[in-house]
């Protein structure tokens, strides 16, 4: 019997988790702590919202189809930012604006893979990458990370076959939070280049990296665009999640192929969201720096307070960007634990089983906590509830 493309993969994990809330009420003195989705819950700053309103009211083109590869001014603006941040020499011709970073990944895969090809993904993986590969008929080859949640280059090399087309990394990582060292990222670049593969690096959470300066030197490599494909999102930096503005940065030749995919899927990215991203690039540098400082302060609170869970047998396996990736001490699977947490602790989070292959044992002991929307008091409440569990 034929299996359809959508039937070839699993249900969207965040939507599945939201269904666990159906019929559950939370008392006023113990409201739901929702750490399931890595997205800002607050709207953009007022000045940006005003700029979006002005674009909607005064620019006729904000309501029309635009170029498939995005607004020229935004492409140029992102190129300039990349050049400053990474010491790069990109141009607007290297940049396409997409309807979110997930679409950028899908477009990149469309330019690389035929049905039956393979892409290497470190596990735990970002589930939307796995879902798209499933629906594209591409095999996701699992590269198990070590105790430090970092992938090993030699292990990746052993997985390469004549059907391998790319290695895809996410740094800072989703779900594990870890920031991949620049030397490690360069080693993966060298590996990919030596085998004629693409190295896709999803840097959705770049703006919340704890390191100063460029997180890697890939843009500085000769002929970088023949191997390196950079993915970015404006959603987190400017709180534009609902407006779906991402980017794909690669060679002009690859973008001409990606344009075919993008034109047939969405025709063009939303115009108002693009105007917002451009205004943000031009005006919100200091504001984003403040947002980063706040996320790093919350990250420190996660780390500083973790002893209360460590004393109960928990392990903090990864921490960074929006995420704390934890190993729990209970006998039941995280798939069961995550659902019990809703009713017994008023916590909604994602089980590690959503980030691993079905037959992988590691996910059964792990939980992803998306802490970015918790202040210090919220983190304290999270720890109090988790430490009180007795299952």
pLDDT digit string (tens) for 262-305?
999 999 999 999 999 999 999 999 999 999 999 999 999 999 99
pLDDT at position 42 is 87
pLDDT digit string (tens) for 100-122?
999 999 999 999 999 999 999 99
Q: What is the pTM of this model?
A: 0.96
* 1: pLDDT strictly greater than 80: no
Average pLDDT over residues 85-101: 97
* 382: pLDDT strictly greater than 80: yes
CA dihedral 101, 104, 110, 116 (to 10 degrees): -30
Average pLDDT over residues 14-26: 92
Nearest CA to 104 out of 237, 278, 262 is that of 262
260: enclosing H helix or E strand: helix 252-265
pLDDT digit string (tens) for 48-85?
999 999 999 999 999 999 999 999 999 999 999 999 99
pLDDT digit string (tens) for 230-241?
999 999 999 999
pLDDT at position 390 is 82
Query: Average pLDDT, whole number, for the chain?
Result: 96
Nearest CA to 173 out of 142, 153, 151, 198 is that of 151
* 187: pLDDT strictly greater than 80: yes
pLDDT digit string (tens) for 333-347?
999 999 999 999 999
Average pLDDT over residues 207-226: 96
Nearest CA to 80 out of 70, 92, 69, 71 is that of 92
Nearest CA to 121 out of 133, 110, 137, 113 is that of 133
Average pLDDT over residues 199-215: 96
* 352: pLDDT strictly greater than 80: yes
């Amino acid at each position: 019997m034929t299996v359809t493309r959508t039937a070839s993969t699993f249900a969207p994990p965040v939507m599945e988790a939201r269904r666990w809330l159906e019929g559950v009420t939370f008392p006023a003195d113990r409201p739901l702590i929702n750490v399931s989705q890595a997205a800002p819950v607050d709207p953009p700053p007022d000045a940006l919202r005003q700029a979006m309103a002005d674009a909607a009211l005064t620019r006729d083109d904000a309501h029309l189809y635009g170029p498939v590869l995005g607004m020229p001014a935004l492409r140029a603006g992102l190129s300039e930012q990349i050049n400053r941040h990474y010491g790069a020499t990109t141009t607007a011709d290297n940049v396409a604006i997409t309807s979110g970073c997930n679409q950028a990944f899908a477009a990149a895969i469309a330019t690389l893979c035929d049905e039956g090809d393979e892409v290497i993904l470190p596990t735990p993986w970002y589930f939307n990458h796995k879902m798209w590969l499933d629906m594209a008929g591409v095999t996701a080859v699992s590269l198990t990370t070590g105790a430090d949640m970092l992938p090993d280059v030699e292990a990746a090399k052993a997985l390469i076959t004549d059907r391998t087309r790319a290695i895809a990394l996410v740094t800072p990582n989703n779900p594990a939070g870890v920031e991949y060292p620049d030397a490690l990222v360069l080693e993966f670049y060298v590996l990919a280049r030596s085998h004629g593969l693409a190295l896709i690096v999803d840097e959705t959470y770049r703006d919340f990296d704890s390191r100063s300066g460029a997180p890697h030197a890939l843009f500085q490599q000769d002929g970088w665009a023949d191997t390196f494909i950079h993915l970015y999102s404006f959603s987190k930096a400017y709180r534009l999640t609902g407006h779906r503005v991402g980017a794909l940065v690669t060679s002009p030749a690859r973008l001409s192929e990606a344009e075919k995919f993008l034109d047939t899927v969405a025709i063009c990215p939303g115009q108002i969201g693009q105007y917002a991203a451009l205004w943000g690039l031009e005006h919100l540098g200091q504001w984003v720096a403040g947002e980063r400082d706040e996320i790093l302060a919350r990250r420190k609170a996660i780390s500083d307070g973790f002893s209360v869970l460590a004393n109960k047998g928990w392990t903090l396996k990864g921490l960074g960007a929006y995420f704390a990736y934890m190993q729990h001490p209970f006998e039941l699977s995280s798939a069961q634990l995550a659902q019990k947490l809703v009713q017994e602790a008023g916590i909604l989070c994602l089980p590690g089983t959503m980030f691993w292959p079905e037959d992988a044992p590691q996910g059964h002991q792990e939980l992803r906590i998306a802490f970015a929307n918790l202040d210090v008091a919220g983190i304290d409440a999270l720890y109090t509830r988790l430490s009180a569990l007795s299952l």
